[in-house]
Amino acid sequence: MSRYARAERQALADLLLARGPDAPTINEGWATRDLAAHLVLRERRPDAAGGILLPPLRGYAERVRRRLAARPYAELVAQVRRPPKWSPVSNPLTDELVNTMEFFIHHEDVRRAVPGWQPRDLAVGLQTALWKRAAPMARLALRRFPADLYVQAPGHGEVSVGRGGERLRVVGAPAELALFLSGRQRVARVQLDGPPEAARRLRAASLGM
């Protein structure tokens, strides 16, 4: 596994154990046990993992996830910590590409669910890796938003997207933009420059998968 994907995975596993199975997460309706079960399903149940993205399979995926969540919590976290090498999303060829963003975001889902959190001081290399994934995410997530949007990560790059109209800038570190674009607007520390109503709509928009 890559150093960033592996580091975020191990830090998340440590935090899941420290917080316990019933701690809150940013994901609505999910405690830490639910999040751990989601990650185990994603990596170890390819028969159900398609339901994460495909609505026709969502019911089956949710039933599998709930069964996983009923297992002993320490066992779930151990499986999060040590992924199977045969998994399509966690083998040595795909881990860096697929899991750096995934585990960073879910690590923050747990970190930022309690009062008093602060953004971490992340390595420049990790910020760069996150920007490489956040830029195409912006093009996908915001392509239909009714504004002329500029997503800017100072020192990393800029993406122009949207359907046109009022000009709105979204400015932040790559890590914060990744959270914003994945639907975590309420905990992402980004700056929105432009008409207040357009900014309000963007903060309330349904983004992410």
According to the model, what pLDDT value does residue 77 have?
98
pLDDT > 60? residue 2 = no
According to the model, what pLDDT value does residue 1 have?
42
Q: What is the pLDDT of residues 157-184, one digit of tens each?
A: 999 999 999 999 999 999 999 999 999 9
pLDDT > 70? residue 191 = yes
According to the model, what pLDDT value does residue 55 have?
80
Beta-carbon contacts of residue 135 (< 8 Å; ≥ 6 apart): 151, 157, 159
Q: What is the pLDDT of residues 69-126, one digit of tens each?
A: 999 999 999 999 999 989 998 988 899 999 999 999 999 999 999 999 999 999 999 9
Question: How far from the centroid of its chain's Cα atoms is residue 174's Cα?
Answer: 12
According to the model, what pLDDT value does residue 146 have?
94
Cα–Cα distance between 78 and 9 in angstroms, integer? 11
Q: Are 87 and 47 in contact (CB under 8 A)?
A: no
Give the whole-number percent of the chain exceeding pLDDT 90. 83
Q: Is 112 helix (H, G, I), strand (E, B) or coil?
A: coil
Please state the rounded mean pLDDT for residues 197-209: 90
pLDDT > 80? residue 57 = no
Cα–Cα distance between 9 and 34 in angstroms, integer? 16
